Amino acid sequence: MSRFVLITPNTDFDSRVRQALAGGLPGGLQTFAFVNPSDPAELFANLNQERPEVLILGPDMPVEDALRLATVFDVQLPELSVILVGDADPSFVLLAMRAGIRDILSPGADPAQIRVLLERACQSFASRNRTAAKQPDSPKGLVIGVFSPKGGVGKTTIATNIAIGLGKVAPMSVVIVDLDLQFGDVASGLYLNPEHTVTDAVSSAASHDSLVLKAFLTVHPGSIYALCAPRTPEEADDITPQQVTRLLEQLAQQFQYVIVDTAPGLPEIGLAALEQCTDVVWVTAMDVPSIRGLRSGLEILRRLDLLPETRHVVLNMADSKSGLSVQDVEATIGAPVDISIPRSKAVAFSTNRGIPVLQDGRKDPAVKGLRQLVERFDPAWRATAQKKLHRRVVV
C-alpha cells in the first residue's frame, strides 16, 4: 500500500524519505519523477491505491507546477496532506497557503526531520477523515450571516472578528465574504489590498469551477481567506441574487466556515444570502433607532418565513449609562440578547488600524464578548451547550 506519494526527480531526496519511513512509519512510498500539472488524473491512474494520505512535492519540481497540483488536490482531495519542499520565505509561504499546502519542508532536511513531518501529516489526515466520517449527512460548512437593518452599529467589526476568531479554531478553513457590494469595508477592516473581488468570484468561470473561485480569494495573515467587495459601486449593479446564491453554495462546500458581512437593511442581495445561512448574527447598538430597526426587520422576516432557526443577537457598543437596559432591548425586539459587547476604545482603534482586536491579542472587556460570540460556532460548544444558546446578558 502506498500511503505516501513523492513527486521529484531528485534521487537523493527520495532516498532520505525512504530512510525516514524505514524508521517505523507503516505504509509504502511511490515516487514519480514527473506529473503533468494540467492532467493530475494521470497520477491517480498510476497509483496502486485509490487514496494516499500524504503527497510530497519534492525538490527540483518547478514551483508553478507544484502550486498548481496542490491547488487541484486541495479541491479534489481536501483531506490529503500536501507537503511542499522549499525555502520558507514569507512570499513563498503565502503562495503555499493559498494553494492549500499543509506544511513546508526544507530541501536539506535529514531523515529524522522528514519522519517527524510525515508523522504530523498522517495525524492531520486521520483527524480530517474522522471529522468527515462524523458528519456524513452534513458535508457543507456553516454559513454565518452578519446582519443589521441599520448602519453604524459595528457590523463589519463583528464580522471580521468572528472570522479571525474562527481562523484560530479552523486555520485556513474560514472565508469571509463582503456582500455590502457598494460600500463594503472588509478590505479596510482586515488591512487588505485584494487583487480580486466578488465581481471575479461570480464570473462564469468561477461559478463552474471551484478551483478558479479559490484563486480569486485573498489570503489574510490570520489564517483565513477573504473575498472583498467590488472596487467601485458601479460594479455592484451587475451582481445578481442568483450569482450570490451560487457563490455561497460553492464556498460552503469548500470551507468549514463562511462568514457573510451584509449591507445595512434588507436588500435583495442580503435576502438571497439569508436563505443560504445556517446561522444569523443580528447586530444592534444600544440606541432607540437601531433597536427599533432590528424589531421591524425581524417582523418582516418572520412574515416572509426567512428566519433561520439558529440566531444570535449581539448588543454592540453596550453602555449602562445609555439610559436603556438589556430588558428594554429584549422587550422591543421580542427576543433575548445573547452577547453583549461593551463600548471600547480598543475596538475602535483596532478597526482604524485594520487589525481586528481578536488578532492583536489586546486585553479589553470587549474581547471577552467577542470570544463568547466566536465560541458559539465551535462544534464542541454547540454539541454541549444547546440549552444555553439564549441566556440573559449583563451590561
Span 264-299, pLDDT tens digits? 988 899 999 999 999 999 999 888 998 998 898 888
Residues of the chain with CATH 3.40.50.300: 142-388
Which cell goes with 378? Answer: 465551535
Q: To 10 degrees, the CA torsion angle through 44, 50, 51, 55? A: -30
Q: Is 49 helix (H, G, I), strand (E, B) or coil?
A: coil
Least confident of 48-62, 217-231, 360-374: 48-62
Burial pattern 115-136, b for ≥16 Cβ within 10 A else e, equals: bebbeebbebbeebeeeeeeee
Verdict on whether the full-model pTM lies above 0.75 = no
Domain at 2-134, CATH class = alpha beta
Cα distances (angstroms) measured from residue 343 to each of 157, 172, 321, 322: 12, 30, 11, 11
Give strand pairing partners of 175. 225, 258
Residue with the bigger pLDDT between 18 and 70: it is 18
**368 or 42, higher pLDDT:** 368
How sure is the predictor about 45, in pLDDT bands with cuts at 50, 70 and 90? low
Percent of the chain topping pLDDT 70: 89
Coil, helix or strand at residue 322:
coil
- Residue 190, pLDDT > 90, answer yes
Could you give the C-alpha distances from 160 to 12, 105, 167, 185, 201, in angstroms and in order? 46, 32, 10, 10, 19
User: Does residue 149 contact residue 264 with C-beta atoms inside 8 Å?
Assistant: yes
- The pLDDT score that the predictor gives to residue 70 is 83
Highest mean pLDDT among 69-83, 320-334, 366-380: 366-380
Q: Could you tell me what percent of the chain has a pLDDT over 90?
A: 32
Strand partners, 10: none
Quickly state the pLDDT bin for 135 (edges 50, 70, 90).
very low
pLDDT (average), residues 162-170: 92
* Per-residue pLDDT at 387: 47
> pLDDT higher for 256 or 96?
256
- CA 138 vs CA 119, 126, 154, 159, 256: distances in Å: 29, 19, 32, 24, 11
pLDDT surpasses 60 at 49: no
User: Alpha carbon of 274 to those of 46, 150, 174, 205: distances in Å?
Assistant: 45, 16, 18, 24
pLDDT band at 319 (very low <50, low <70, confident <90, very high): confident
Q: Look over the chain and give the mean of its residue pLDDT values, rounded to a whole number.
A: 84
At the topology level, CATH places domain 142-388 in: Rossmann fold (3.40.50)
pLDDT exceeds 60 at position 175? yes
Return the percent helix, strand and coil in the chain, to nearest 5. 45, 20, 35
Does the structure show a pLDDT above 60 at 188? yes
Buried b / exposed e across 97-113, counting CB within 10 Å, b at 16+? bbbbbbbbbeeebebee
* Locus of grid cell 499546502: 101
Would the pLDDT of 215 be above 70? yes
Going by C-beta distance under 8 Å and a sequence separation of 6 or more, which residues neighbour residue 106?
85, 87, 88, 113
pLDDT at position 391, please? 52
Q: From CA 29, how far away is CA 52, in angstroms rounded? A: 10
Per-residue pLDDT at 304 exceeds 60: yes
Confidence band (pLDDT; 50, 70, 90) for 42? low
CATH 3.40.50.2300 occupies which residues in the chain? 2-134
